[in-house]
Amino acid sequence: MARTLPAACCAALVAACAPLEERGSSAIPAGEEGGRECFYPRTVNAFRNAPEGPDGASRIYVDVRAGDTFLFELFSPCRELTFARSIAFDTGTGVGRVCSGLEVDLLVPDPDLGTRRCQVAMIRKLAPGEEGARAGAKE
């Protein structure tokens, strides 16, 4: 037993130093979430306005590290979103991931009312080259 412990420690140390496979995307692959495209909020590096939806609903692009862009369409106009300098996500489930097909609200600062909750109707990951996708997005 005394001789196997140092050998096991050495094996664990060597395994810990092994190079990790680099992933080209910070989005969680669709297969791991039952066909949903997901990302972790901590990987968001920007958001920007998108053209209004067909019914006048507010829309934004959310840029996620590694070149992924998600389109968020809200149930109704969220006027504060146009001038917001920051946003947050409330999944309501405490899962920690934002996924297409799951309920999520945007939390948007409102100078008069504090934080405004804007319900998201749709989340969709944009394909490379699609309008709104960042240049250099990987396929």
Instruction: Write phi, then psi, for 65 (nearest 5 degrees).
Output: -45, 150
The SS3 call for residue 91 is: coil
CA distance 46 to 70: 11
pLDDT, residue 12, reads 37
Instruction: Write phi, then psi, for 5 (nearest 5 degrees).
Output: -65, -50
The SS3 call for residue 3 is: coil
pLDDT, residue 131, reads 92
**Residue 100 CB coordination number (10 Å):** 20
pLDDT, residue 17, reads 34
Per-residue tens of pLDDT for the chain, all 139 residues: 454 434 443 333 333 333 333 334 445 554 444 578 999 999 999 999 999 887 778 899 999 988 999 999 999 888 888 889 999 999 887 678 999 888 899 999 988 889 999 999 999 999 999 999 987 666 5
Question: Could you give the strand order of the β-sheet that contains 88-90, starting from the edge strand earlier in sequence?
Answer: 44-49, 59-64, 68-74, 114-125, 105-110, 88-90
**Residue 82 CB coordination number (10 Å):** 11
pLDDT, residue 76, reads 86
pLDDT, residue 30, reads 45
